[in-house]
Amino acid sequence: MTTRMTMTQKILAAHAGMPSVKAGDLIEAKLDMVLGNDITSPVAIDVFDKAGFTKVFDKEKIALVLDHYTPCKDIKSAQLCAIVREFAKRFNIKHYYDVGTVGIEHALLPEKGIVGPGDCIIGADSHTCTYGALGAFSTGVGSTDMAAGMAMGENWFKVPSAIKVTLKGKLKPYVSGKDVILHLIGMIGVDGALYKSLEFTGEGVSELSMDDRFTIANMAIEAGAKNGIFPVDEKTLEYIKDRFQREPKIYEADQDAEYDSEVVIDLSELKPTVSMPHLPSNTKTVDEVKGLPINQVIIGSCTNGRISDMRAAAEVLKGRKVADDVKCIVIPATQKVYLQCVKEGLVEIFIESGCAVSTPTCGPCLGGHMGIMAEGERAVATTNRNFVGRMGHVKSEVILASPAVAAASAVAGTVASPQDL
């Protein structure tokens, strides 16, 4: 008998201890990892304590990552970090990361092998969907859900239906995973996958690096999706080798799994793409908007702060200068990525070209610190959201782009692709 389940549904069924599930079922599933950061964890800890819980379900299956307002931008932020620090010590939480070891959570957890194929993961951060790149079910939740997860090691889910995203062909030079996901969000809209999974498949998947897959899965939430997920292949297994601390479990969608709809993307046809203010779905090719003046460039974030992103930016910036009226801020997502940038000479390239290079932080992406914009300023950023006021003043603007486009724009002083330089 065939089960006709999507990859997501198979992982959820396994974690609910059920032979099969179908879209719309309400299930309770066991969790392999529960994540929180310095903004969401203090709220979760308060809820956890007030409900009277006195122990966590598993001190090795909770990750507390102080990445958003760190190194602490003000006293209030420091107070929030202190709450998380105390909780981590109280329960001897294994995966606790503070200034010095911390990186941006969604770059850090895969890098450290804390999450992997077949896992069921919740995180009190909407971009927790990133780990779908590894073939895990991973979704963002709020602080109360995080508290529930820490206490019980399980949580409730409505089993999602799915959109099948079939990738074919191969990306052209200067076109990356970021362009793929911006293009997709432009096609289906910011609620195009609301409550659903985005299941990526097709021969084109094998052409994408793991960093490209992380970027694509990361922004599934920007289409409203519950999760984005990639099949596990040789590249996945190579990535997790010597990292992943548990036994990987590989799930595949059934051949005859049911999907709500299918989207086909020919990777070879994609051009450098940007999302114009103020919605990620407001996409244009760089050609359509090039020449628009900018004041700031951010290269980093959980979307694009990995080593291949740094290399892509450095390749464009090498031997060039950031335009006079542009502030370009480069933020490697983790300490390991940062150190690699130092070893490969990328930091030298960034500084020689006139960029500021920062320790890992989410900072400017959410308008926290390290690059807040004034009224009337406009940024090209490799981040994930361009909502009103996201990076500063309510009358500032964010244009989302790949690292190559962001670097080229920094040099041009206007929206530009590397071929325009």
Partner 1 sequence: MVTGKVIKYGDNIDTDVIIPARYLNAPSPEELAKHCMEDIDIDFVNKVKPGDIMVGGANFGCGSSREHAPVAIQASGISCVIAASFARIFYRNAINIGFPILECPEAAEKIQNGDKVSVDFKTGVIADETTGESFQAAAFPEFITRIIDEGGLLKYLKERQAAKED
Return the number of the residue (57 or 237) whose C-beta is nearest partner 1: 57
Q: How far is the CB of 132 from partner 1 (least distance, A)?
A: 15
Is 421 a binding residue for partner 1 by CB under 8 A? The answer is no
Structure tokens at 20: 């099969």
69: contact with partner 1 by CB under 8 A: yes
Question: What is the x/- site pattern for partner 1, positions 381-410, by CB under 8 A?
Answer: ----x-xxxx---x----------------
Residue 352 CB partners (closer than 8 Å, separation 6+): none
- For the bound state, the minimum distance from the C-beta of residue 178 to partner 1, rounded and expressed in Å, comes to 18
Binding test (CB under 8 A) with partner 1, winner from 156, 172, 203, 421: 156
Residue range at the interface with partner 1 (CB under 8 A); choices 171-179, 234-242, 297-305, 366-374: 366-374
Residue 189 neighbours by CB under 8 Å, 6+ apart: 223, 224, 281
Residue 262 Cβ vs partner 1, minimum distance, rounded to whole Å = 22
Nearer to partner 1 (CB atom), residue 152 or residue 263? 152
**339 touches partner 1 (CB under 8 A):** no
Among 5, 65, 147, 217, binds partner 1 (CB under 8 A): 147
Element (H or E) spanning 114, and its range?
none
Using CB under 8 A as the binding criterion, the count of chain residues that bind partner 1 stands at 48
Is 142 near partner 1 (CB under 8 A)? yes
Which residue lies nearer to partner 1 by CB, 250 or 388?
388
The radius of gyration of the chain's CA atoms, rounded to the nearest angstrom, is: 20
Nearer to partner 1, 12 or 410 (CB): 12
Site for partner 1 in 260-279 (CB under 8 A): 279
E strand or H helix at 123: strand 120-123
Close Cβ partners of 249 (under 8 Å, ≥ 6 residues apart): 14, 117, 118, 119
Please name the amino acid found at residue 294.
I
Angle at 132 between CA 417 and CA 279, to 5 degrees: 45
Q: H/E element holding 174? A: none
Question: β-pairing, 273-275 with 283-285?
Answer: antiparallel
**Nearer of residues 211 and 222 to partner 1, judged by Cβ:** 222
228 lies in the site for partner 1, by CB under 8 A: no
> From CA 297, how far away is CA 356, in angstroms rounded?
10
43 near partner 1, rule: CB under 8 A: yes
Task: Identify the residue among 5, 12, 14, 47 touching partner 1 (CB under 8 A).
Answer: 47
Nearest-5° angle of CA 263, CA 266, CA 272?
Answer: 110
Where on the phi/psi map is residue 259: left (φ > 0), alpha (ψ -120 to 50), or beta? beta
User: At its nearest, how many Å lie between partner 1 and the CB of residue 38?
Assistant: 9
Stretch that binds partner 1, among 59-67, 177-185, 187-195, 343-351 (CB under 8 A): 187-195
Question: Which residues, 6 or more positions from 382, have their beta carbon under 8 angstroms from its beta carbon?
Answer: 178, 298, 299, 300, 301, 303, 304, 305, 309, 400, 401, 402, 403, 406
Q: How far is the CB of 43 from partner 1 (least distance, A)?
A: 6
- Burial class for 324, CB neighbours closer than 10 Å (0-12, 13-18, 19+): exposed
Complex with partner 1: residue 306 or 385, whichever CB lies closer:
385
Measured from the CB atom, is 49 or 315 closer to partner 1?
49
CB of 54 to partner 1, least distance (A): 11
Q: Would you call 200 exposed, middle or buried from its count of C-beta atoms within 10 A (0-12, 13-18, 19+)?
A: buried
Q: Which phi and psi (to 5°) does residue 390 adopt?
A: -60, -40
Q: Binding of partner 1 at residue 153 (CB under 8 A)? A: no
- Binding residues (CB under 8 A) for partner 1: these are 26, 39-40, 43, 47-48, 50-53, 69, 74, 76-77, 79-80, 124-126, 128, 140-145, 147-148, 151-152, 156, 190-191, 194-195, 221, 224, 226, 279, 366-368, 385, 387-390, 394
